[in-house]
Amino acid sequence: DSGVTQTPKHLITATGQRVTLRCSPRSGDLSVYWYQQSLDQGLQFLIQYYNGEERAKGNILERFSAQQFPDLHSELNLSSLELGDSALYFCASSVGRLAGGARGNEQFFGPGTRLTVL
Amino acid sequence: AQSVTQLDSQVPVFEEAPVELRCNYSSSVSVYLFWYVQYPNQGLQLLLKYLSGSTLVKGINGFEAEFNKSQTSFHLRKPSVHISDTAEYFCAVKFNRSGGSNYKLTFGKGTLLTVNP
């Protein structure tokens, strides 16, 4: 158990809909990362937040957005869903370099949310 | 361009045989290196990491890896595998850009290790 929790575990929805994925980081971790895992693209970095602020963006579509709340949990919002958005979405957390030095680079992953768009 | 390559998409081996899963990266900056394992229908679990110091790192479940800076490689090894090691293994790299504040990991495509009896 990594200490990172994600809900829901599974999500089945239709094209055009909007969903919200939730992540709670490990206690004390300030950084949250979102990754998408699909068969064709593999594991892709989407976005990072550090202590409530966006720090980096990867291959995140404009239809997707995220935020990190004062209690450090994060939500990933996916809208106007398409069939190709079906994937496993992982959240990871780390202490963050400022707090943990090089060790802050170590990321702990949650169990993921499997999104199926029909 | 910075990239991570896992040379083998699938590696079948027999139980108790040694195994090596290969990972190479391309980078003009320093790196931190990680191996993660993903068991079926589960999340990613950190096997081991190289941040600094000794280039030979030991991880959980009897795995080890060696950082070779000149060959830009970080191959994962285990001297004797078990059926329970059947899983997908991912090499991940953090590229240390100067002044950078993002810590995203760049992953290889993964290697499916199948251990047969």
Residue B17 has pLDDT above 80, yes or no: yes
Band of residue A2 on the pLDDT scale cut at 50, 70, 90 = confident
DSSP B53: S
Provide the pLDDT for residue A102: 60
Between CA B13 and CA A56 the distance in angstroms is: 39
Beta bridge partners of B112: B10, B88
A35, A92 in Cβ contact below 8 A? yes
Residue A109 has pLDDT above 70, yes or no: yes
Band of residue B30 on the pLDDT scale cut at 50, 70, 90 = confident
pLDDT digits (tens, 9 = 90+) for A23-72: 999 998 999 999 999 988 899 999 999 999 998 899 899 999 999 999 99
User: Average pLDDT, stretch B47-68?
Assistant: 93
Provide the pLDDT for residue A6: 97
| Minimum Cα–Cα distance from B53: chain A residue | A102
pLDDT digits (tens, 9 = 90+) for A85-97: 999 999 999 986 5
Contact criterion met (CB < 8 Å) for B102 and A109: no
Decide the pairing of beta strands A42-50 and A53-57.
antiparallel
In this predicted structure, which of A10-14, A60-64, A101-105, B30-34 has the lowest mean pLDDT? A101-105
Q: Which amino acid is at B49?
A: K
| Minimum Cα–Cα distance from A5: chain B residue | B43
Which residue from A45, A108, A111 is facing B104, i.e. has the nearest CB?
A45
Band of residue B102 on the pLDDT scale cut at 50, 70, 90 = low
Between CA B65 and CA B27 the distance in angstroms is: 19
User: Average pLDDT, stretch B61-72?
Assistant: 94
% chain B with pLDDT above 90: 76
Average pLDDT of chain B to the nearest whole number? 91
Decide the pairing of beta strands B87-95 and B31-38.
antiparallel
Contact criterion met (CB < 8 Å) for A109 and B107: no
Query: Residue A32 contacts by C-beta under 8 Å, 6 or more apart in sequence?
Result: A23, A25, A48, A49, A50, A68, A72, A74, A91, A92, A93
Which residue from B32, B43, B49 is facing A112, i.e. has the nearest CB?
B43
> Does residue A96 or residue A114 have the better pLDDT?
A114
Contact criterion met (CB < 8 Å) for A108 and B107: no
Provide the pLDDT for residue A59: 84
Residue A14 has pLDDT above 70, yes or no: yes
Provide the pLDDT for residue B99: 56
| Minimum Cα–Cα distance from B37: chain A residue | A109
B80, B16 in Cβ contact below 8 A? yes
| Both structure tokens of B29 | 């900056």
Smallest Cα distance from A38 to chain B, Å: 10
